[in-house]
Amino acid sequence: MSRADDPFETYLLRVLCALIAEQSVSRTAIRMNQSQPAISAALKRLREIFNDPLLVRDKNTMVPTARALAAAAQAQSALGLLDGLLNSGEGFDASTTERSFTIAMPDYLAPPFLAQVVRSFRAQAPNARLVAQPLGPQYDYELALQDGAIEIVIGNWPEPPEHLHSSTLLEDDIVCLMAEDHPWAADGELSAERYLRAAHVVPMPYSIAQRGVVESSLATLRVSRDRRVQCPYFGLAPNLLPGTDLIMTTSRHFADYYARRLPLAIRPSPIEFARMRFYQLWHASQHRAAPHVWLRGLLTAASQVLTDPDSQ
């Protein structure tokens, strides 16, 4: 939203929120389509208003002060309410909208999903912006949804927060992925006993508050696996399998995608896991908002590409 289109003069609050998120004057300028001098001037004015430096330099980055973090959280809530007030009753046209949409997601859905999201997004909303926000153990996605910093979170935890709305994108079987020359890659070789004593590659969890489907199921059975190698990303893990004795336990569509590109074998899991469910989560305040309904529909449609082998 430009200053000319902002009847409540919320420009400084928007600059504050963007500065805290980007921790950089130059990146904030790009994000808000403003000049660097304009953002610098706004930061100077904000420092005067709050009587606080707000951002202080630490080596090559700008670190927000405690006052800035508190102010930004309140500003996000206020902006969300004001945006809702201005947008209530207005129609939404994806083909002309210039708003920005932010989705928080990990990389445990195969790449064709996001590729299809981007294709549909560009075709339907050519003037809008799309941000794919990575999840991490320290990222408070519930607060981000509440404050309007993000529109949707994509997850696959066994028990998503009950106070959030959700809809299913995909349900999938859990399989084992391993090097095609793995000693247990032949049919019938991977038993439950061998699975539990095998060396496993396990991506780092995306949430400290949620345990994954595999770990939850093993805990219920009161058994554990040898988490021999941990890596930071799901998309990296399959690349660590060729030439090793490691096993990765994952969803079938994810395994299919990488088995088409790497010398890997897919075998049924010898332990009966519940099906893995991938879903989108959103806050109640956005449930009936027309832009949000459109975005949820776009994500749901894009997820269908994951069940079509020819698209991968």
Per-residue pLDDT of the chain (312 residues; tens, 9 = 90+): 444 444 446 788 888 888 887 888 888 888 777 888 889 999 999 999 999 999 888 777 788 898 888 887 777 767 766 665 555 445 789 999 999 999 999 888 999 999 999 999 999 999 999 999 888 777 888 888 988 889 999 998 887 888 889 999 999 999 999 999 999 999 999 999 999 999 999 998 776 666 778 988 899 899 999 999 999 989 999 999 999 999 999 999 999 999 999 999 999 999 999 889 999 999 988 888 899 999 999 999 999 888 775 656
Tokens of 19: 């500065």
Contact 223, 196 (CB under 8 A): yes
Query: Roughly how many angstroms between the first and final C-alpha of the chain, as a whole number?
Result: 38
The secondary structure element, H or E, covering residue 265 is strand 264-268
Q: Give the per-residue pLDDT at 80.
A: 65
Q: How far, in Å, CA of 246 to CA of 178, rounded? A: 6
Instruction: Using CA atoms of 244, 249, 254, 257 in order, give the dihedral in degrees to the nearest 10.
Output: 30
For residue 203, give the nearest of 134, 263, 259, 306 by alpha carbon: 134
Q: Estimate the crossing angle of helix 25-32 against helix 36-50, to 10 degrees.
A: 110
What's the 3-state SS for 63-105? EECHHHHHHHHHHHHHHHHHHHHHHCCCCCCCCCCCCEEEEEE
Report, in angstroms and rounded to the nearest whole number, the Rg of the chain calculated over CA atoms. Answer: 23
Residue 305 confidence (pLDDT): 87
CA gap 18, 28 in Å, rounded? 6
Q: Which of 49, 39, 88, 117 is nearest to 295 (CA)?
A: 117
Strands (E) in 127-182, as ranges, are: 129-134, 152-155, 165-172, 174-179
Predicted confidence at residue 302, as pLDDT, reads: 93
Global confidence as pTM: 0.69
Cα–Cα distance between 32 and 27 in angstroms, integer?
9
Distance (Å, whole) CA 64 – CA 55: 4
Distance (Å) of CA 17 to CA 11, 24, 27: 10, 12, 12
The predicted pLDDT at position 90 comes to 56
Q: So what's the pLDDT on residue 89?
A: 47
- Give, as one character, the DSSP assignment of residue 154: E
